Amino acid sequence: MKQKIDIQIAADEVACCSKHLEQLLEQKLRCNNTMASGEQHNAEIGNLQLQKSEVEGRAFLEGKDPDTAAINRKITLLQEKTYVARAVALAAKSAANLLAKDIEIAESELDAARSSMTNVCAAVTKSAFDEAEIEYGKSGLLMKSAVVKMQAAGILHQRITGNPTLTLTAESIISCLGGNATGMLRNGIQVKTDRGYQVDNEIFARLPKQVQFALDSLSTELISQGAEL
């Protein structure tokens, strides 16, 4: 339960940092658009001034007074707009400079949040591995105990009946325990060392003593119940 809470906290932090960074980037885009708008006004004024020069040049060639009243009005209007736009653009430029530092900090915070999320998830997977490792160890011991008992019972059964049908083989163990046991039974039981899991082929080499002990125990139990062996 605690792990789920930790993951949710980390996920919320990543989402919060992501949203904050997104907002800052949107503000930066607005600043850039505002600065670009001021440049557009300057370009429009330049075009009108070029048109005015052409009218004046044509009128000069024709020996007439240039009629630039309409163009002058447009230029004046745009110059007024440009004056305001230039002031806004300067403010937007200052804001963009401030945002650059804020964005850098926000990106660092988002990286830290994501790193925290990675650490939390890593802790969860490590915990899952540790739990499975314990389960694996218990399963191995149970399987080993079952193999010893099967061997002992099979040997005693053959002694009593002369029938080797219960003789234990790797194939019969695999058949009983399922295909997943193939690697463990044919290669030995995996045991943990400082270098990770390694095959311990000596475990089965030590089994005869354990089988003999189990065999003696089973024989004693049968004899105690009146059996003649």
| 81-128 per-position pLDDT tens digit | 777 777 777 888 889 999 999 999 999 999 999 999 888 888 888 888
* Residue 229 is assigned to a structural domain of this protein: no
229 vs 211: CA distance, rounded Å: 18
Domain that holds residue 28: 2-130
Q: Are residues 21 and 41 in the same domain?
A: yes
For residue 190, CA distances in Å to 66, 164, 172, 186 come to 100, 30, 20, 11
H/E segment holding residue 108: helix 69-161
Name the domain count of the chain: 2
- 86 and 160 co-located in one domain: no
What's the Rg (C-alpha) of the chain?
43
> Domain end: 85, 112, 130, which one?
130
Contacts of 175 (CB under 8 A, 6+ apart): none
Gap between the Cα atoms of 8 and 162, Å rounded? 65
The burial of 227, by beta-carbon neighbours within 10 Å (0-12 exposed, 13-18 middle, 19 or more buried), is given as: exposed
How many whole angstroms separate alpha carbon 16 and alpha carbon 220?
71
What does the pLDDT look like over 18-38, one tens digit per residue? 999 999 999 999 998 888 776
Range of weakest confidence among 65-69, 117-121, 174-178:
174-178
Q: What is the pLDDT of residue 100?
A: 94
Does residue 161 sit in the same domain as residue 125? Answer: no
Same domain, 145 and 111: no
Q: Say whether both 85 and 118 belong to one domain.
A: yes
